[in-house]
Each structure stands twice: as C-alpha cells, then as structure tokens.
Structure 1
Amino acid sequence: MSRFVNFVTSIGERRGTNEAAPSISLAGKEETQKSITTSAHIDTAKPKLLDRWLDKVVSFSGSNSVLFFTIFVLLVWAFLGIKFGGVTGWQVGISDAQAIINMVFDSLLVREQLNSHTQALVVACHLDSRAGSHKRMLRVLSRMEKPSTGRQGHTTITTELPTEDLLGRICNRVSAWMGHISTVIGYWVCIGIWLAFGSYCNWSNTWFFYINSATSALMIFMLALLGNNRERNKQYLQKCTSLLLTADMSLERKLRDLTGDKIDNEVSCIPAPKVGKIQRAINFYADLVGTLLGIALLSFVLVAWVAIGPVMHFDANWWLLIGTYAGLIGMNDGFVLKNLCDICNRQEDVHYEQRILDDMNLLAILGADKVQEKTTVKPRLDVRLSIAMGDICSHAYTVVAGVICIIGLILTASLMHWNELGQIICNVPPSIIESFFTLILITGHNIGDEQRRADLQRLYETRLELISAVEQWQV
C-alpha cells in the first residue's frame, strides 16, 4: 500500500541530478591521458535492453535516411495528386498517414527531449563537481611562486569547437526558415485564405479536405525535419561536450600535478525543480508518452484500429477514425511538446549560466580580473517576438486550454453522432493547431540549440584560458 501511495504522490515529479566528475589521479602521464580520453564521454545509456533499443529507434528516426525518404514519399504523393486529387481516398490517405506518423514521432520526440535534458544536466553536474576542485587547487596555486622559466601559456588542445558538414548547415538553414516568425505569420495568412474560400466551396467536405491534406503533408515534413535537427544537434553537442570535458580534465590534471592535491571531486547536486499540480500532470503525461508503456499503448491502439476494419467494412468512417483519434491526441501532444521543450531549456539555461559565472570566479583567483567579457547583444525583434510567442504557447494554462478545446470538439462530434462531417471537424482544427505548434516548437528548438552552443563555446574558451594561465607555473 505504501508503494502505491508513494507512486501516486510522485506522479509528475522530476528527480534531481547527482553526479561526481571522475577524479584524475596522480599516476603517470600516459595513464592519466588515457584516463582523460576514456572519461571524456559521459555514458547515459539506460540499464534495460528495451530502453536502449528504443533509444536506437529514436536516433534512427532522426537520421538523414528517414528525412530523405519522407521528402521522397511526399513528392510522390504530391505528383499522384495530379491524377487522384479529386478522389476522397487520396486525401484521407495522407491524413491517416500523418495521424499514425504523428503519434509515433510525438512519442519519439518526447523521449529524445527527456534524454537530451538528462544529458545536459549530467554535463552541468560534472562541470560543477570539477569546478569545486579547481577552485580549491587554484587558491593553493595562487599562493605559490611562479617560476621564472615557466611556460608562456601554450596549450596543445584544439582551440576551436567542431563545425557541421554541408548537409547539417543546409538543414539548419531550412529549420531556421521554418521556425522564423515570418513563416508562422505566412502560415496563418494561408489559413485565412482557405477560410475566405469556404463560402465559395459551400463549406463542403472537399473544402475541409483541402486544408486537412495540406496541413497533414506539412506536419509529416516538419516532424521529420524536427527529428533530424534534434538528432544532429545531439551528436554535435556530444562532440562539443567531449572536447569541453577533455579540456576540463586536462586542467584538473595540471592542477593536481602542480599542487599535489589528491582529494576526490565532490558530488554535485542539481535539485529537482518545484512544479505545480498542473505542470506535474503535464510531466506525467510526457513521461507516459515517451516511455515503453506509452509505446505499448500506441501499438495497442493501432492494432485495435486494424482489427475493427472488417467490422466497419474498411469504409470512410473507419479511415477517418484513426485520423480523428490521432488528430485529437496529436493536438494535445503538440501542446505538451512545446511546454516540455521550454521547461527543459529554461532549467538548462539557469545551470549553464551559473557554470559560466563560476568560471569567471576561477579566472579571478589567478588575477585574471580583466577577462574579456562577452558583449551582450540585444536579440533581434523577430527573435524577441518568437520568444514571447513561445512563452505563451508553452505555458501550462495553454496546455489546459488545449485540453478544453479537445473536449469541445469531442462534444461537437458527439452531437453530430460522429458522422463523416463530425469526424472531419475533429480532424481539421487539431491539424491546423498542431501544425502551428510544431512551427513554434521548431522555433523553440532553434533558439535553445543556439543558446546551448554559445554556452559550450564560452565554457570551452574559459577552460583554455585557465589552462593557459596554469601552464605559467609549469617548468
């Protein structure tokens, strides 16, 4: 009974992160360098085999192969529309495909977001853990006499973080364009044009299908692009983190060699953020979607839908059924994904900004009080508008508003006895809203990605400055 009570009371809570950076021993230089090279990569692989396989599926879903295949299929579908554009099945097909793909990608994107967030916090813990030892040893070093034949701040560590390849830069530009405020405005202009033609088309089902097909195709492309961007960003940040941690451990080795310090690095703790009841409910839903249980429920729904196909004679209502279900669930997932993205980015920003401030204090211990500060550039108007719009869309109350909207759509369709028009109504508005939220999600991802890269660059540059200053005590 107590376990059940603990489970209920812990629903939606986030666990704190407790990590200690591996301590560098005072062994021979070859052994120490080998230890540094081995420890530069932080392994956050999960203990369960199914979890590890699911993480591999998440990585594959963001691969270039999946992105190019998605674009190819969309082009084939568009060209087939020249001949079959007037056939209802052709338009329902893209809607159902988007619905199924959307549910799968939402689960994978939630899992990827949670994995990346965990990785970022573990890295922040390692930096903080080692910074405590650095501070202690730098104070000792600052009281030691600097040798007249000391090195003049020369380090063999590379001074530049890696750059992305041509394909990565192209995808970044496409993502920046998709997430730009002007693209979001253009999207709503297109929706307005579609609404303006409603009377001309007699508000027919075909008129509904036009926008449903367009937003469905757009959603498939955006989900593939977003998954690809997140996977590339994860791999790039892992490379940058590896270089940063290598420099951090090299600094520790030099300091231990000079001071003879043998005290292990202490455990650094990042406490779990305090959240309200609404946010806890959102967290619980996100955890459910991104876990094995969520994938199992998704598989059960798809199997059940296929199983009732013969009973419904695979008619239009059967085809619309999965679109209706996935459209409503996908709309809620869009709200939750945006909320989760911004919550994670904000928490990471706080801790990485603290690490940068700690580094300034470390430099000051050695008398480097004239460290060149980075000029804070005021964000452009479009960036400020994007951030403001993202803050509104990611608020917990916005997620609640989305749930209320979903309930309203279900009641409307129920009053219409879930006929074809009722199901279309449950398909089209969620598709429009979810497409908008995916655009905003891409915007939030771009802003968070740019900020994290800037943080790592700043931290890496500071490590090189510290190593350069410490080397002046080496003979």
Structure 2
Amino acid sequence: MTAVPSPTTEIEVDEKAVTETYQVQHFQSIFKKCIQAIQSPGKHCDIRSAAPTQQVFDGENFLHRSCSPGDSCSDYKVKNGSIVECENIRDYIGQKRPNPAGRIFDLVTHLAGTSFVFILTLVILVVWAIVGGIYHAPDSWQIVMQDGSSIQCYISATLLMRQQQNHHNQLTTMIAQLRSRLCTIRRLIGPVLQGKSVASAPLKYQDLQDDVGDAQKLPVENWFSLICNYVSLVVGSVYFFMLYWAGIFIWVGFGKMLNWSDEWQLYINTATAVELTFTSVFLQNIRHRHMKYISRCVSSIFHIDAALEEALRRRSGDRERNPVIEIEAEKVNVGSRTIDYYAHLVGSGVGAVISAAVFIVWLAIGNTMHWNSNWWLIIGTYTGLVGFLDGFALRNVYFRESNHFNVHVQTLVDEEYLLFQSLGLPLPHDSETPVNKSFAYKLSSFIGYICSQAFSVYAAVIIIVGLVVAAGALRFNETAQLFCNTPTMIIEAALLIVLIEAHNFTNLENRVKFRNIHLRRLALMKAMVGDDYLANECA
C-alpha cells in the first residue's frame, strides 16, 4: 500500500521550492544590476525638465494651484494669520547629483577653474624656474617638472572631462526650461490679447534694460581677467600653434649635435611639460569664466520670463502648469559609444579611484627601485600616455556635444521667431558672431576638426600600443620611457592649443546666442507689460 504524504511534508517541500525560487530571482536581480552598472558609464540619457510654474494668488483665491489656506504650499506663506503670495522660484533650477561624493567632485571641478588655482599654478612655475636657475637646471630638476606636469595634466584631464559633462548637461537643461516657459507664454498670450496686435516700432537697444553686458568679449572683472582675455586669443591662435611646431623642429635639428641622448629628450619633455601645465589650467579657467557669463545671462532671462508668466497668469487666470520639455540624447554609433564610455570613466569617481590606486602602487615600489630616475619616470610615462589619449577623447566629446547643443538652442530660437512673427512684433537687433574668413582661421578649424574625429582617438590608441611595445623591448629603461613620453607630450601639448582655439570660438558663439535670447525676452516683456519689468515679491 502506497504511503500518503503528510500535510507537513507537503508544506516543507513548498517552502523549500519558494526559497530556491526567491534565491534565483535575487541572484538574477543582482546580476542584472551589475550588468546595468557596467553598461551605464557614458550612456546618454534624455533630459526632461520644466520651468518652475509661477503661482498667483488674488487675495481670496489661488489662481493656479488647487490648495486651500490649510494646505502646505511651498509657494505661499502665512503672514498675520493670512495666506499671502510668497516668492516663486524665478531662477534656473539645476540638477544636483544625488550622492555626496558626486557633489564634492563637482565642487572640486568648479574650484579648479577659479583664478586662484590658475595664479597658484603660475607661482609654482615661476618658483620652479628660479630654483632651476640657481642649481643650473640638473636632470632631477627637469624630471621633477615632467612628473609633476604629467600628474597635474592627468588630473586636469579628469577635471576637464567632468567640467565638459557638467556644462553640457547644465546648458541643455537650461534650453529645456526656457522652451518650457516659452510654450506657456505662447499659450497665454492668445487669450490675453484676444486677437489684438502688439505691433510697434522697432525697439532700440537703449530702450531695453539690458544688464548682462557685451557678449563679444568675456566681461573684465579686474586687470588679471583682462590679461587672460588677450592671452587666450594669443595662445589659441594658429600663429601660436605654428610657433610651437617651429620650436619642435628646431629641437629636432639639435638632435644630432647632442647625439640623440637622453639629455636631448629631457629638454623637450621639460619644455612641453611647462606648456601643458599652463594650457591645461588656463583652459579650465577659460571655461569657468565663460560659464559665469552664461549663468548670469540665463539668470536674467529666467527672471524676465518668470515676471512675464506671472503677469500673463494674473490677466488670464490660467492654472495649467508649465509643460515638461524632453530633449533627446545624442544618437551615437558603437565607436562614439566606446569613447563616451571611456570619457565617463575618466571624468567620474571611478577614474579618481583608478588614479589613486596607480599612485599608491608607484609609491610602494619606490624603495624597491631605490627612488632612482627610472622610478621617477614611471609615473610620468603612465600619466603621459593616458593624458595623450584623454586629449583626443576630450576633443571628440566636446565636438559632438557642441553640435548636439547647437541643434536644440536653434530650436529655441526658431520658436521665439515664430512667436514674434505671430504677434507682429519686430525683433530686436541680434548680435552676430564675427565671421573670420582668414586662411589662419580656416587652417586652425581644419586641424581642430581632424583632431575631434573618432578616428583620431583610435589612432591615439594605436600609437600608445606601439610605444608600449617598443618600450617593452627595451625593458622600460630610462631611454625607453623618455621615448614614450616625448612624442605623446609633444602631440598632447599641440592638441591643447587647438582645444583652446575651439573653445574661444564656440564660447563666443554661445555667449552671443544667449545674449540675443536675453534681448528678445526683454523686447517681449516691454511689449506685453511695459516698462515695469519687476514682479511683486513677498514683503
């Protein structure tokens, strides 16, 4: 006779099956998260953002939000026992990173572009030059500069990559929020005007309360920023680029005289190390000052927009929120995705951790190698090769993100033009970016374009592999490491000059575009509201 399983046995079997199923699902979930974490670096995401909606209260009823005096509304406050309208959010809302480590990294990136860091770098270079003059420029003095410069440029490449990513996300979010409020303004103007026209005589620039200054040049805060403006034009010019390569050819000409020795290689490595240190920090400073102007300009635009939206809501009684605008991420191929993946690692905490690990290992083997010249050159070789690749990756990412931003800022401009046309309102005079048709500029643009292509990044990888194989054949002795350092430092230094020129022109274009947006919003505000540009605020 067959035994019938007891109920207890059945329950035990079911619990075991459920446990095993749960463990499998848990493992699959962890595995899926790991795969997503591995694939996430460099992934472009759509940006979705809306301008903060301006809340309006007429003294008795909330015109915009369905809340009562007993509710908790962040845009209102209690005064003398009554609900009164409070300050709306009138400025640009940035996206903050959720984790503290990311915010700290962003703060360090911001500080690295300040004038204080740039001046400190100049002081260090001057002190180093004085010490070299006193001790007659020994080899150890040159190697210290090369290593220090390589490490500094390696760190700067990480910060420049982070800075580039932050600026692109910030600018794209600004465009999304500007388009969001523009949609609301276009929707509100129709009911308010009720078919009436606001056509008027062309507005003169002096009639507009413009407070952001000229966009053709970066605002001059003091004598130091004035000098920086001129230096950026000189260093970023094709003439400086040609002068740099003339110096390289002169150095090559002295090679035979110096028997192609290690000392001969040290000379050019030292010279390019100084140039790399200066240009990398200078580039961070240029970006920092440019974004200060853009942020000031955008802040003024947002205040005008918010005042106009609130005025229109008061007159129309509209309660609909500002729409969310979605800006699609750049579509990339496999090659560009690989570059983005690498760029993200370099500009993230992962890159910082890898760098820290490399430096710790380098310091740990110092005693084993008796702290000799070869040991000193190891870190310079590593950072030099990686920095060489970073320079090309940075140029490629900057080129593609600039094109992506230009497409969407043009969409905003087109929407503004349509609004002015529908209102019969003349456009204020737009500033135009100066067109440079000189041969020098065309040559510089061509070089910058070539260096920004994906195949240039691939070529850099091939060169690095070739140099490492050649150095390995020489067992990574001092000559082999100098052989790795010399060509990469020469090309990286030249690439930074090209990058400064690209930034000069692109930054000028962006400043002019935002300044024109500012003028159009001022003209729209004047036509709809009059000369009273300032909205009422809470007492």
Compare CA radii of gyration and give the structure with the larger one.
2
Seen in structure 2, the aligned counterparts of structure 1 residues 436 and 153 have a Cα distance that, compared at 3 Å, is closer
Identify the match of residue 165 of structure 1 among 212, 221, 243. 221
Identify the match of residue 352 of structure 1 among 409, 413, 417. 409
8 Å Cα contact 2:197/2:423 also seen in 1: no
Q: Which residue of 1 aligns with 2:188?
A: 137
- Paired residues in the alignment total 469
Identify the match of residue 453 of structure 1 among 511, 518, 522. 511
Q: Which residue of 2 aligns with 1:439?
A: 497
Give the letter aligned to residue 497 of structure 2: L
Identify the match of residue 55 of structure 1 among 106, 117, 129. 106
Seen in structure 2, the aligned counterparts of structure 1 residues 422 and 25 have a Cα distance that, compared at 3 Å, is same
User: Does 1:183 pair with 2:240?
Assistant: yes
Alpha-carbon distance, 1:258 to partner: 2.8
Which structure carries more helix by proportion? 1
Give the letter aligned to residue 470 of structure 2: T
Identify the match of residue 280 of structure 2 among 223, 227, 232. 223
Seen in structure 2, the aligned counterparts of structure 1 residues 108 and 377 have a Cα distance that, compared at 3 Å, is closer
Q: For residues 418 and 473 of structure 1, what CA distance do their matches in structure 2 show?
A: 72
Alpha-carbon distance, 1:11 to partner: 5.1
Q: Which residue of 2 aligns with 1:209?
A: 266
- Which whole-Å deviations, capped at 9, do the CAs of 1:298-357 have from their partners, x for residues lacking one? 111111111110011101110010011111001011111111222221111111122112
Alpha-carbon distance, 1:117 to partner: 0.8
User: Does 1:466 pair with 2:513?
Assistant: no
8 Å Cα contact 1:138/1:366 also seen in 2: no
SS at match of 2:298: helix
8 Å Cα contact 2:48/2:325 also seen in 1: yes
Residue range with higher mean Cα deviation, 154-163 or 285-294: 154-163
Alpha-carbon distance, 1:375 to partner: 5.6
Give the TM-score of the pair, scaled to structure 2.
Answer: 0.82
User: Does 1:96 pair with 2:126?
Assistant: no
Alpha-carbon distance, 1:386 to partner: 2.6
Alpha-carbon distance, 1:426 to partner: 0.5
Q: For residues 28 and 154 of structure 1, what CA distance do their matches in structure 2 show?
A: 35
Q: Which residue of 1 aligns with 2:125?
A: 74
Seen in structure 2, the aligned counterparts of structure 1 residues 111 and 2 have a Cα distance that, compared at 3 Å, is same
User: Does 1:256 pair with 2:286?
Assistant: no
Q: For residues 441 and 420 of structure 2, what CA distance do their matches in structure 1 show?
A: 32
Q: For residues 412 and 251 of structure 1, what CA distance do their matches in structure 2 show?
A: 66
Q: Which residue of 1 aligns with 2:87?
A: 35
Q: For residues 109 and 485 of structure 2, what CA distance do their matches in structure 1 show?
A: 27
Q: For residues 245 and 472 of structure 1, what CA distance do their matches in structure 2 show?
A: 18
Give the letter aligned to residue 409 of structure 1: L
SS at match of 1:242: helix
Aligned-residue CA RMSD (Å): 2.6
- Which whole-Å deviations, capped at 9, do the CAs of 1:180-217 have from their partners, x for residues lacking one? 11111111111111111111111111110110000001
Q: For residues 25 and 6 of structure 1, what CA distance do their matches in structure 2 show?
A: 40
Give the TM-score of the pair, scaled to structure 1.
Answer: 0.92
Identity of aligned pairs, percent? 31
- Which whole-Å deviations, capped at 9, do the CAs of 1:117-169 have from their partners, x for residues lacking one? 1100110000111111122122334434479xxxx999998313144412323
Q: Which residue of 1 aligns with 2:337?
A: 280
Residue range with higher mean Cα deviation, 399-408 or 412-421: 412-421
8 Å Cα contact 2:205/2:429 also seen in 1: no
Structure 2 residue runs without a partner (length 5+): 1-30, 60-74, 77-83, 214-218, 533-539
Give the letter aligned to residue 155 of structure 2: V
User: Does 1:268 pair with 2:325?
Assistant: yes
Structure 1 residue runs without a partner (length 5+): none
Alpha-carbon distance, 1:280 to partner: 0.6
Alpha-carbon distance, 1:4 to partner: 4.0
User: Does 1:300 pair with 2:330?
Assistant: no
User: Does 1:3 pair with 2:33?
Assistant: yes
Which one scores higher on RCO, CA 8 angstroms, separation ≥ 6?
A: 1
Seen in structure 2, the aligned counterparts of structure 1 residues 401 and 201 have a Cα distance that, compared at 3 Å, is same
Q: For residues 154 and 345 of structure 2, what CA distance do their matches in structure 1 show?
A: 13
Q: For residues 100 and 427 of structure 2, what CA distance do their matches in structure 1 show?
A: 51
Seen in structure 2, the aligned counterparts of structure 1 residues 47 and 408 have a Cα distance that, compared at 3 Å, is same
Q: Which residue of 1 aligns with 2:466?
A: 408
